[in-house]
């Protein structure tokens, strides 16, 4: 994209009008790409020279970002095979993405910051296009029937603060790219309905990538197929931890005494594992702990 300023001046319009007109052209192009089934559209829309020009409100930049989110979610929609409640009927190329059900946009940039599809009986796989929602802070697709792997592209969403994937049919390992989510505060991939609903089947050791995320306050891995030992220094890796749910897995060894360093710990739920030995005496120092379940 180039020449918006020249076009506007030739027509007697303001520079801002020129950039807005360019944004409208891109919207038309994006709609056509969606109709034609084009999966990837690359637009060179902003020159480094613009940083040294006079200050202009580049309205088109916000429009472009918004359309990037729209394309990502339309691809996400294409992977959904069941939607009995018609939740994503509003997800179409003509309606503004910020008006779609389950979608919340930020006020400043009009970019998607929250995707909440919890409990709508959706089925399908999680599209890798989720990784294009670069402003996303909250992802909640809990209590549905999503299957397949957690896409590695999720790890590119560095603004993510909360990820809720519990009670689905997810399989495989937690991708190592999750370790890039340094703003993540809550990760909940457990299954907590014992009465015949679907259950995640994630496997492997306690996800090593999580040890990079000292910001985590909630870790929920219950009712999966993890195995092995917890690292002895787990309590040092998560100094902000408040809730740790590891029920009904296959962990072995002793309960790490380092968890007593998590001074904000409120709930520790670790029943039905293969832990050996007693609860460390140092847990008596956890003054905020009100729930401890090791039965």
State CA 266 to chain mean position distance: 24
Which letter, b or e, does each residue of 77-101 get, where b requires 16 or more Cβ atoms within 10 Å of its Cβ? bebbeebeeebbeebebeeebbebe
238 pLDDT band, cuts 50/70/90, is very high
d(CA 127, CA 129): 5
Q: Is the predicted pLDDT of residue 42 greater than 60, yes or no?
A: yes
Work out whether the CA dihedral 148, 142, 227, 208 comes out positive or negative.
Answer: positive
Residue 104 near residue 143 (C-beta atoms within 8 A): no
Residue 226 near residue 206 (C-beta atoms within 8 A): yes
* The architecture CATH gives domain 137-293: Alpha-Beta Horseshoe (3.80)
pTM score, two decimals?
Answer: 0.77
pLDDT, one tens digit per residue, over 99-158 is: 999 999 998 889 999 999 999 999 999 999 999 999 999 999 999 999 988 999 999 999
Which letter, b or e, does each residue of 111-149 get, where b requires 16 or more Cβ atoms within 10 Å of its Cβ? bbbbbbbeebebbbbbbbbbbbbebbbbbbbbbbebbee
Mean pLDDT of 193-201: 43
Q: Is the predicted pLDDT of residue 192 greater than 50, yes or no?
A: no
CA proximity to 58, closest of 120, 115, 116, 109: 109
CA proximity to 131, closest of 189, 175, 82, 171: 175
pLDDT, one tens digit per residue, over 154-171 is: 999 999 999 999 999 988
d(CA 229, CA 252): 5
């Amino acid at each position: 994209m180039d020449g918006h300023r020249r076009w506007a001046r030739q027509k007697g319009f303001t520079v801002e009008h020129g950039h807005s007109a360019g944004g409208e052209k891109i919207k038309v192009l994006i709609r056509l790409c969606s109709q034609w089934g084009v999966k990837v559209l690359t637009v060179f829309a902003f020159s480094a020279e613009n940083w040294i020009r006079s200050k202009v409100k580049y309205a088109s930049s916000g429009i472009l970002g918004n359309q990037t989110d729209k394309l990502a979610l339309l691809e996400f929609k294409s992977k959904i095979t069941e939607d009995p409640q018609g939740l994503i009927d509003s997800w179409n190329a003509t309606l503004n993405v910020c008006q779609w059900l389950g979608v919340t946009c930020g006020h400043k940039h009009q970019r998607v910051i929250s995707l909440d599809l919890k409990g709508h009986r959706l089925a399908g796989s999680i599209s890798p296009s989720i990784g294009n929602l670069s402003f996303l802070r909250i992802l909640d697709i809990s209590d549905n029937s999503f299957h397949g792997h957690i896409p590695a592209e999720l790890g590119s969403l560095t603004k993510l603060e909360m990820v809720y994937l519990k009670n689905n049919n997810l399989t495989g390992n937690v991708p190592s790219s999750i370790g890039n989510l340094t703003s993540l505060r809550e990760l909940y991939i457990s299954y907590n309905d014992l009465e015949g609903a679907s259950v995640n089947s994630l496997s492997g050791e306690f996800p090593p990538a999580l040890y990079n995320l000292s910001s985590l306050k909630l870790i929920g891995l219950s009712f999966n197929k993890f195995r092995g030992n917890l690292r002895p220094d787990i309590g040092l890796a998560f100094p902000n931890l408040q809730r740790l749910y590891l029920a009904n897995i296959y962990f072995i060894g002793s309960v790490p005494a380092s968890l007593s360093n998590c001074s904000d710990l409120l709930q520790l739920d670790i029943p039905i594992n293969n832990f050996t030995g007693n609860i460390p005496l140092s847990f008596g120092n956890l003054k905020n702990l009100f729930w401890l379940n090791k039965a």
